[in-house]
């Protein structure tokens, strides 16, 4: 395991702190205990109009302790790593547990499901970036945006951020695991036009390994091109039309699927996908897989928040929903087994199709390319979907003008079933990887 002097606590110290918590919880009568110990630090620099706007340093640490007194659960946390603070936090969690109601689904995951080892997923790539270097990189990124077009009139800033952390998770069944991680990003947001005819847009790149970030000059140039392209936006006529969600937004559709297929929504009966396991939810060409062990992946993890070992699995096969997203607790509420998704999904990947964005536009012919969504008008109980949007109107497979001040509406169940094609223009920016997605129709409210 990589060690760095930049961490205040060696990994072995985090392990010892976890052991101390478990030992004290047992001595105080807890029937089970789980603990998470973490430390992280980083820096962020923002430059606006060639001037340094912010320089931020962060350093955080914490211990979260969950104890069980039979079927009663209590939780407490602290940022103080002293022995006395740890004892007091354990006792606070136990006091909380004594006043909570019994829950027959509460408790640790089955010991047989716990991660037995911790494969190296290549998640830690520290970036030795000085503040001066970060400022210079941000300046070059922003200047590239100004250089891209004379219509770029102002800037909301270019930012460089580097973050590192390490953690240990452990419980009283003998599980203990953890590792260091890193994540870095470069972003730029600029304004094009003047006075009442101004538009803004942005672009960013993020990765665990700074060497694999996009070139800062490219980030600035793309941000400028996107802002300029939005000038002259107008409404379109109200009606039903095909819609393309651009790749950076298409991950939100996958996110809606994850939310609706998550244990919490299912056992509370607040999902439009109740009782849909094994049923068709998307067209038969759609394949969605969860791959938790991709080296250097932004959503990679050897185990979930319950300590359960993660594994590759198929979520949607030939359009049929094969699996939910369950933690130990939500699985018990549903009478099922955990899928190692306490804490969320891990590298959800939809199989790309044969077309890039230009190919999807040609396939759509006439309709709307959505590049920005506003608001949060999603009802997961019914699947009703309505959000403000902006993008571009397409005729004969070509963009003809930008669009703004419209609303797109539909139903998530119908939207998922109405996927016509998935692009190969994948943007890897988080835990969900997808190209642009073409839907057969949505209602567009404009003029």
Whether the per-residue pLDDT at 366 is higher than 80: the answer is: yes
pLDDT in tens, 41-57: 999 999 999 999 999 99
What is the model's pLDDT at position 446? 87
pLDDT in tens, 82-94: 999 999 999 999 9
Question: Nearest-5° angle of CA 120, CA 126, CA 132?
Answer: 170
pLDDT in tens, 210-265: 999 999 999 999 999 999 999 999 999 999 999 999 999 999 999 999 999 999 99
Are residues 255 and 201 part of one domain?
Answer: no
pLDDT in tens, 404-445: 999 999 999 999 999 999 999 998 888 999 999 999 999 999
> Which among 202, 207, 231, 198 has a CA at the least distance from the CA of 219?
202
Domain boundary among 204, 229, 254: 229
Per-residue pLDDT band at 130 (split at 50, 70, 90): very high
Per-residue pLDDT band at 447 (split at 50, 70, 90): confident
Tokens representing 142 are 């922003």
The residue range of the domain holding 378 is 239-445
- pTM of the predicted model, to two decimals? 0.92
pLDDT in tens, 244-253: 999 999 999 9
Residue 81: CATH number of its domain = 3.30.2290.10
Are residues 75 and 182 part of one domain?
Answer: yes
Are residues 391 and 331 part of one domain?
Answer: yes
Domain boundary among 203, 229, 255: 229
- What Å distances lie between residue 233 and 9, 199, 391, CA to CA? 53, 9, 8
Task: For residue 5, tell me if it sits in a domain.
Answer: no
Cβ atoms of residues 261 and 316 within 8 Å: no
Q: What is the mean pLDDT of residues 176-203?
A: 94
Instruction: Give just the sign of the alpha carbon dihedral 122, 128, 131, 134.
Output: negative
Q: Give the chain's mean pLDDT.
A: 95
């Amino acid at each position: 395991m990589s060690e760095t002097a930049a961490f205040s606590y060696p990994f072995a110290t985090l392990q010892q702190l976890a052991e101390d918590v478990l030992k004290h919880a047992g001595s105080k009568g807890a029937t089970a205990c789980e603990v998470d110990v973490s430390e992280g630090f980083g820096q962020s620099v923002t430059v606006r109009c060639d001037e340094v706007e912010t320089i931020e340093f962060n350093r955080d640490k914490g211990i979260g302790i969950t104890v069980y007194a039979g079927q009663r659960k209590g939780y407490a946390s602290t940022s103080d790593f002293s022995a006395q603070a740890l004892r007091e936090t354990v006792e606070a969690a136990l006091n909380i547990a004594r006043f909570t109601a019994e829950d027959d689904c509460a408790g640790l995951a089955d010991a047989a499901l716990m991660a037995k080892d911790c494969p190296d997923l290549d998640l830690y790539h520290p970036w030795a970036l000085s503040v001066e270097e970060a400022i210079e990189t941000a300046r070059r990124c922003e200047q590239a945006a100004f250089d891209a077009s004379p219509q770029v009139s102002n800037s909301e800033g270019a930012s460089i951020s580097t973050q590192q952390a390490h953690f240990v998770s452990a419980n009283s069944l003998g599980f203990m695991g953890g590792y260091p991680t890193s994540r870095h990003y470069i972003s730029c947001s600029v304004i094009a036009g003047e006075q009442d005819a101004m538009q803004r847009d942005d672009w960013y790149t993020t990765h665990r390994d700074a060497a694999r970030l996009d070139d800062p000059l490219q980030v600035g140039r793309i941000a400028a091109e996107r802002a300029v392209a939005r000038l002259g936006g107008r409404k379109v006529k109200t009606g039903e039309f095909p819609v393309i969600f651009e790749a950076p937004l298409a991950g939100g559709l996958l996110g809606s699927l994850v939310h609706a297929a998550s244990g919490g929504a299912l056992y509370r009966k607040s999902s439009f996908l109740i009782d849909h396991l094994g049923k068709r939810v998307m067209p038969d060409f759609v394949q969605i897989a969860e791959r938790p062990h991709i080296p250097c992946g932004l959503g990679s993890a050897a185990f979930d928040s319950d300590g359960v070992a993660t594994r590759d699995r198929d979520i949607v096969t030939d359009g049929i929903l094969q699996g939910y997203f369950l933690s130990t607790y939500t699985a018990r509420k549903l009478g099922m087994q955990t899928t190692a998704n306490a804490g969320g999904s891990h590298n959800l990947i939809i199989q790309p199709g044969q077309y890039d964005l230009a190919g999807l536009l040609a396939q759509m012919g006439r309709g709307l390319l959505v590049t920005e969504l506003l608001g949060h008008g999603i009802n997961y109980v019914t699947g009703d979907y309505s959000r403000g949007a902006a993008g571009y109107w397409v005729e004969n497979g070509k963009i003809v003008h930008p669009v703004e001040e419209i609303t797109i509406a539909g139903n998530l169940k119908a939207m998922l079933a109405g996927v016509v094609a998935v692009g190969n223009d994948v943007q890897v920016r988080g835990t969900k990887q997808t190209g642009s997605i073409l839907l057969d129709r949505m209602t567009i409210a404009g003029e």
